[in-house]
């Protein structure tokens, strides 16, 4: 049987589609979901640490002037959080690594609340508040709150193509790093990034 490059490409593409939080992973109707292909995250049940990368190419970029809403539909501008360190976390209910990291993010928000860290978990679900709140209610999160960006304005602004994506800002509203994928938020690498944001 003759060898063809297609025989290699098809399995590789299927692997990316299955392992990453991308448009193919979204439910029907999630047409404007962010697409992926750069970072893959093994399912939490494998016991392996999710894949992630830290991108510092945009260091110093200002906090963007992008609006989103709270669960009651009130418009909020990201710039309203200027003056204190901010960790913006983009997630979706259909993204397994996003869901898996939420308890750690809640812990991080609680551990650093006295330090002024503001942790914003902003859903990229386009199916509305009911979908997001159906997941959120009953989880018992004490320190994080649901925000919504159904038009994926922030997702398109950051342009990583992957969920989860988190962007860390210093108190002077300058970008420190983008964390693409789901790290161990209570591990040493994430702790060092958060310390950097708190001390700048």
pLDDT in tens, 36-80: 333 333 444 445 555 899 999 999 999 999 999 999 999 999 999
Query: Is 68 among the domain residues?
Result: yes
Contacts for 183 with CB less than 8 Å, ≥ 6 apart = 50, 52, 101, 189, 190
CATH number for the domain that contains residue 89:
3.40.30.10
Query: Is 139 among the domain residues?
Result: yes
Query: Is 166 among the domain residues?
Result: yes
Query: Is 54 among the domain residues?
Result: yes
Two structure tokens written together for 161: 């193509």
Dihedral over alpha carbons 73, 76, 78, 84 (to 10 degrees):
-120
Q: Name the pTM for this structure.
A: 0.79
Residue 166 has pLDDT above 50, yes or no: yes
- For 14, the domain range is 6-199
Q: How many domains would you assign to the chain? A: 1
Query: Is 113 among the domain residues?
Result: yes
Query: Is 1 among the domain residues?
Result: no
Query: Is 172 among the domain residues?
Result: yes
What are the tens digits of pLDDT across the range 92-116?
Answer: 999 999 999 999 999 999 999 999 9
């Amino acid at each position: 049987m003759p060898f063809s490059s297609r025989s290699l490409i098809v399995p590789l593409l299927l692997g990316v589609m299955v392992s990453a939080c991308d448009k193919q992973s979204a439910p029907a109707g999630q047409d404007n979901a962010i697409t992926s292909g750069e970072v893959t995250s093994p399912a939490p049940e494998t016991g392996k640490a999710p894949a992630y990368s830290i991108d510092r190419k945009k260091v110093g970029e200002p906090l963007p002037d992008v609006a989103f809403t709270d669960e009651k539909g009130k418009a909020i501008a990201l710039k309203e959080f200027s003056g204190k360190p901010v960790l913006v976390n983009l997630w979706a209910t259909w993204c397994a690594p996003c869901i898996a990291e939420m308890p750690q993010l809640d812990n991080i928000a609680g551990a650093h609340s006295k330090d002024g860290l503001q942790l914003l978990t902003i859903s990229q679900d386009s199916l509305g508040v009911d979908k997001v709140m159906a997941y959120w209610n009953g989880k018992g999160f004490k320190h994080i709150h649901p925000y919504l960006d159904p038009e994926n304005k922030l997702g398109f602004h950051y342009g990583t193509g992957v969920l989860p994506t988190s962007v860390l800002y210093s108190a002077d509203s300058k970008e420190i790093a983008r964390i693409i994928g789901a790290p161990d938020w209570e591990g040493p690498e994430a702790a060092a990034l958060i310390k950097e944001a708190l001390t700048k």
